[in-house]
Structure 1
Amino acid sequence: MEEYVWPAGPEVPAANLVRESWEATVAALPVEARITGEVIGRQRFGVFIRIDGVANAIALAEITAMPHGVGLPALGTFVSGEVLWHAAHNHQVKVRLDEWPAADE
């Protein structure tokens, strides 16, 4: 498996469903809301998360919110965090994770 992968597979909502559900996503996940979910994609700039309990919602935890000296969570890892803002241009919920793995994990 490659270290960096885009979200893909049957568990990832289609782009049109994410777009169509955007208003409901924003209403369900206001800024400062707590989220949990599964890491479904990894890129150098952060991880994509399928958010539990909110159909067709995708979150992004960017490396700009990572503490120094930590790594990206692995695919399939369950994480939790807080909503920072909503990126309407690409229908992503931006989050800050509660914990990041140590760089050597």
Structure 2
Amino acid sequence: MKKLILTVAILASGVSTFALSNNILPVETTSVVMNEEFKEIAIDKLPAAVTNAVEKDFASATINKAYVNSSEQYKLELTIDGSTSTVYADKDGNWLEESAVTGA
């Protein structure tokens, strides 16, 4: 009889653990990268190599804004066929990956 009561008690406690509410909410991580390394410059202050690279590789693009950092890397906001894109270049007009840009 003791085994029967013990078995029922164990089963009842096992079932009651499923009745507990699980209030664990999924965690959403939002990363905000503040980029204060780049300073906005006038488009006419861009080096000729950078503007030539844009004309060569993005013939239909318009430069909206230009930024420069202390390493003389340029961040350009381009409008290409109605869509806006951001590209990076060095002072010699070579394209850079965003991960390779200092301060990006």
Normalised by the length of structure 2, the TM-score is 0.29
Give the number of the structure whose residues are more often helix, by fraction.
2
Structure with the larger RCO, 1 or 2 (CA within 8 Å, 6+ apart):
1
Normalised by the length of structure 1, the TM-score is 0.29
